[in-house]
Amino acid sequence: MTHFHYPEVVQKELERITHTGGEKIVSDEGSTYIILGLGERRTGGYAIEVVDITEQAGPVNSFILVKAKEIKPAPDAFVTQAFTYPTLVYRIPYTTLPIRIEWVRFK
């Protein structure tokens, strides 16, 4: 499995969530990485998309809100007939703010 040129800490976390799915935030080399995984899907055609990322200023604590969605294949799409494990690594400038992931659905 190729994970491009991610720092080792990112590669390790990506390998951990690839099959089970999940969310993980890690920082390294001046960047913060948001790692998202859907877990096992029975066909190809699935993906993850970050649709919005904003800094939210609260009355006490600020945080970064990441809105992500699962892309599903169209019902009539021709897709790979094999198990797939959609993942996404999203890099932002280094931050110490908490990061919250919100999964959204669009019609």
The domain in which residue 53 lies consists of 8-103
Token duo for residue 107: 């019609």
Looking at the domain assignment, is residue 69 inside a domain? yes
Residue 10's SS3 state is helix
Looking at the domain assignment, is residue 60 inside a domain? yes
Q: What is the DSSP string of 15-54?
A: HHHHTT-EEEEEEETTEEEEEEE---BSSS--EEEEEEEE
Looking at the domain assignment, is residue 3 inside a domain? no
Looking at the domain assignment, is residue 1 inside a domain? no
Q: What is the DSSP string of 59-85?
A: SS--EEEEEEEEE---TT----SS-B-
Q: Give the count of domains, the chain.
A: 1
Query: Who's near 104: CB < 8 A, 6+ residues apart?
Result: 51, 67, 68, 69
Looking at the domain assignment, is residue 57 inside a domain? yes
Residue 4's SS3 state is coil
pTM, to two decimals: 0.89
Looking at the domain assignment, is residue 2 inside a domain? no
Rounded to a whole number, what is the distance in angstroms from the first to the last CA of the chain?
Answer: 33
pLDDT tens, per residue, the chain with 107 residues:
454 688 999 999 999 999 999 999 999 979 999 999 999 999 999 999 999 999 999 788 899 999 999 999 999 999 999 999 999 999 999 999 999 999 998 65
Looking at the domain assignment, is residue 24 inside a domain? yes
Looking at the domain assignment, is residue 82 inside a domain? yes
